[in-house]
A and B are shown apart, each in its own frame.
Chain A
């Protein structure tokens, strides 16, 4: 049987989202276990022989994606529309992420447009109160369309 987290999982997740809103990537990483996994479900880039997916660790791909997004959208923010708590440290957050593009965000050229994108983030918080898994669901097509990109890829 899995031990219950000593810290409320929802509070840890709220702190994580507060840090995201403050563009404090170091704090976001601090709230995660050092081996925490991160997966951005919509992230896929086609290369010649393979598809690169947004799946790996918080300390590598997570940090890279969050930093890149904040750099490209300096007013990036999030609005939490719902927190759902389950058993054994499971927490999901419905969040609307928005921002205005100021730099190219590969592969979308900057046209100075804004986006609003509903996200569902599924977290697991371990017994030490650290996030050890994050899966992010959102619609990349809607974001690209709002930013003015005609291509789907």
Chain B
């Protein structure tokens, strides 16, 4: 397979990568930094099959970054900073913001693999591509996605229940 110029990769995959990384981290600046690192690596060693490669590298980076953030206690600060910047004074945005935070918190609680298949599926990956990006056997993806979806819904519902009780 011929290699796609980095410009083209950037034009095609930058926004989806940043979006996926934002869904994962809850911090757009961090997501953009990680995406830049992904493309820097693609520039250094151009991938043959770019889409799964780029997303796999992004997932690895965000996983490592998450571990480092937990170790350094930075996660709370990031969430705090993001909530400070993303809090919208408009009432109509309140519910959407709460939902976004609930989903991001739920994703953060999930197992790495479950979270990754969900994020990739949301970016339109089919099972072959998810298998290529995650290293999972294609035959196991249906079960993994099913479990991940169920878990996400349960976690978000639990958070909403807690929020309503608290308010």
Partners in one complex: no
Interface residues of A, Cβ cutoff 8 Å to B: none
Interface residues of B, Cβ cutoff 8 Å to A: none
